[in-house]
């Protein structure tokens, strides 16, 4: 994927946040997918052929559009059947192989819980990991791997009992709990390790789309210089710079995005009280800040055409090559606008929202 060819398209007088596509490792927004149940074949095509999965093709993952989808496009809906918990019966899981190892990565996506959502005790949502991607009580040694998913949790007392708040949920070599440690997200005082120490907690508001972003910086093996940062709707809510993901002699790094979401927890006290759904969209994994936290606007007012077989002709891209290609067109915010299969001598008209396109094998 990183070897794909990226070409900037002309957009007069456009100033907005953007990503340099040579630095985007993965993006997916589901707009090119048909509505209905999300199949294992669709998963394989969009997520670099995961070696295993649960949820897709099993009646728990769907592509939807309409009022509950993000914007005017399509979104991914994950279902959590009534009275279920854990990854086998609830939600969905698969691993996106990033095609290489990275010392620093950003991962961003949008998430929405619908009105009436009962968070029960909590559950998992996706995040980056490396090596063996330790989870499920498999405590890391520092020589095997780590994981940095997130969790939604339900405050256990008072009025907060109705609120669904977020934490980063880490498996790493110095974790205190066998089942991972929470790092709470907060906009007030310095985010803490316990709920009581953190002020200004961030909540998932039912019916409202939120953007969650994390940045992982792998540590020097054996040194406590690894980092974990998080943003909620563009506001920084967590920063830790003393994490040991790797022990001396370890050679793994960040190499997987773990799409992992389910209620739980490992016993029935975490089970759904009724059938639930969570909506996801706009996944971006990048070596540079994603659009929601980028600080520098970029002016796009020139055409930089780096593919010898593609030509701009007015509002059209004309293909002069000899082999069939797949042309993916992206907006300035990284959103996939369209996919086109181009035969030799074929042209395609660009949306006025187009900013970048990528050429890939069909």
Do 139 and 33 belong to one domain? yes
Please state, in angstroms and rounded to a whole number, the distance separating the CA atoms of residues 148 and 215: 10
Q: Which of 1-5, 77-81, 292-296 has the highest mean pLDDT?
A: 77-81
Element (H, E) at 88: helix 86-89
Do 263 and 347 belong to one domain? no
The better pLDDT of the pair 160, 358 is held by 358
Label residue 291 by pLDDT band (50, 70, 90). confident
Residue 106 reports pLDDT greater than 70: yes
The answer to the question of residue 4 being in a domain is no
* pLDDT at position 347: 76
Query: What mean pLDDT is reported for the chain?
Result: 82
Give percent of the chain with pLDDT exceeding 70.
77
pLDDT, tens only, 122-135: 999 999 999 999 99
The answer to the question of residue 291 being in a domain is no
The answer to the question of residue 219 being in a domain is yes
Do 268 and 313 belong to one domain? no
Do 259 and 318 belong to one domain? no
* pTM of the predicted structure, to 2 decimals: 0.75
Q: Which of 61, 75, 69 minimizes the C-alpha distance to 31?
A: 75
Burial of 25 (0-12, 13-18, 19+ CB in 10 A): buried
* DSSP sequence for 207-272: T--EEEEEEEEPPPTTSS-EEEEEEETTEEEEEEEEE--S-TT----EEEEEEEEEE-SSSGGGS-
pLDDT, tens only, 218-253: 999 999 999 999 999 888 888 899 999 999 999 999
Please state, in angstroms and rounded to a whole number, the distance separating the CA atoms of residues 110 and 125: 11
The answer to the question of residue 15 being in a domain is no
CATH number at residue 63: 2.60.120.200
Residue 260 reports pLDDT greater than 60: yes
Q: Which residue has the tokens 């997130």?
A: 150
Do 61 and 133 belong to one domain? yes
Evaluate whether 115 touches 203 at the Cβ level (below 8 Å). Answer: no
Classify residue 22 by its DSSP letter: G
CATH number at residue 306: 2.60.40
Do 119 and 144 belong to one domain? yes
Q: Which residue has the tokens 């936290």?
A: 293
Domain-ending residue, one of 236, 254, 286: 286
The better pLDDT of the pair 315, 218 is held by 218
How much is the average pLDDT of 336-348? 78
Evaluate whether 255 touches 75 at the Cβ level (below 8 Å). Answer: no
Evaluate whether 119 touches 164 at the Cβ level (below 8 Å). Answer: yes
Evaluate whether 33 touches 14 at the Cβ level (below 8 Å). Answer: no
* β-bridge partners, 94: 53, 259
Do 215 and 321 belong to one domain? no
How much is the average pLDDT of 28-56? 97
Residue 322 reports pLDDT greater than 50: yes
Residue 303 reports pLDDT greater than 80: no
Evaluate whether 7 touches 359 at the Cβ level (below 8 Å). Answer: yes
* β-bridge partners, 151: 124, 167
Please state, in angstroms and rounded to a whole number, the distance separating the CA atoms of residues 318 and 342: 9
Please state, in angstroms and rounded to a whole number, the distance separating the CA atoms of residues 162 and 172: 30
pLDDT, tens only, 136-172: 999 999 999 999 999 999 865 433 445 788 999 999 9
* pLDDT at position 15: 26
Label residue 188 by pLDDT band (50, 70, 90). low
How much is the average pLDDT of 64-81? 96
Q: Which of 2-6, 121-125, 333-337 has the highest mean pLDDT?
A: 121-125
| Phi, psi for residue 42 in degrees, rounded to 5 | -65, -40
The answer to the question of residue 273 being in a domain is yes
* pLDDT at position 155: 66
The answer to the question of residue 13 being in a domain is no
Give the count of domains, the chain.
2
How much is the average pLDDT of 95-113? 97
* pLDDT at position 27: 93
Do 65 and 125 belong to one domain? yes
Do 258 and 308 belong to one domain? no
How much is the average pLDDT of 293-314? 46
Label residue 302 by pLDDT band (50, 70, 90). very low
* pLDDT at position 9: 37
Domain-ending residue, one of 230, 264, 286: 286
The answer to the question of residue 293 being in a domain is no
* pLDDT at position 357: 67
Q: Which domain holds residue 179?
A: 20-286
């Amino acid at each position: 994927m990183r070897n794909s060819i990226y070409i900037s398209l002309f957009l007069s007088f456009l100033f907005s946040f953007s990503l340099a596509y040579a630095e985007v490792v993965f993006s997916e927004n589901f707009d090119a997918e048909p509505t209905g149940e999300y199949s294992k074949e669709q998963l394989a095509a969009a997520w670099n052929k995961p070696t295993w999965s649960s949820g897709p093709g099993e009646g728990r993952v769907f592509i939807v559009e309409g009022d509950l989808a993000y914007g005017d496009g399509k979104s991914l809906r994950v279902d959590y059947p009534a009275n279920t918990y854990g990854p086998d019966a609830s939600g969905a899981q698969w691993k996106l192989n990033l095609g290489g190892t990275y010392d620093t990565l950003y991962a961003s996506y949008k998430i929405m819980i619908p009105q009436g959502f009962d968070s029960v005790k909590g559950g998992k949502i996706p995040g980056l990991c490396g090596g063996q991607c330790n989870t499920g009580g498999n405590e890391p040694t520092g020589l095997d791997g780590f994981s940095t998913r997130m969790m939604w949790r339900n405050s256990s007392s008072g009025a907060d009992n109705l609120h669904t708040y977020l934490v980063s949920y880490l498996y790493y070599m110095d974790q205190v709990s066998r089942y991972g440690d929470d790092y709470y997200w907060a906009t007030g005082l310095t985010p803490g390790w316990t709920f009581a120490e953190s002020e200004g907690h961030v909540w998932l508001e039912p019916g409202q789309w939120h953007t969650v972003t994390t940045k992982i910086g792998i540590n020097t093996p054996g040194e406590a210089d690894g980092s974990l940062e998080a943003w909620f709707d563009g506001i920084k809510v967590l920063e830790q710079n003393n994490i040991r993901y790797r022990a001396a002699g370890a050679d793994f790094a960040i190499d997987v995005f773990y799409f992992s979401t389910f209620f739980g927890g490992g016993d029935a006290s975490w089970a759904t009280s009724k059938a639930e759904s969570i909506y996801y969209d706009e996944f971006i994994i990048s070596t540079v800040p994603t659009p929601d936290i980028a600080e520098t606007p970029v002016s796009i007012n020139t055409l930089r055409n780096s593919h010898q077989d593609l030509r701009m002709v007015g509002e059209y891209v004309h293909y002069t090559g000899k082999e069939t290609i797949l042309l993916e067109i992206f907006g300035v915010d990284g959103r996939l606008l369209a996919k086109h299969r181009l035969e030799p001598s074929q042209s395609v008209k660009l949306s006025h929202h187009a900013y970048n396109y990528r050429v890939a094998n069909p």
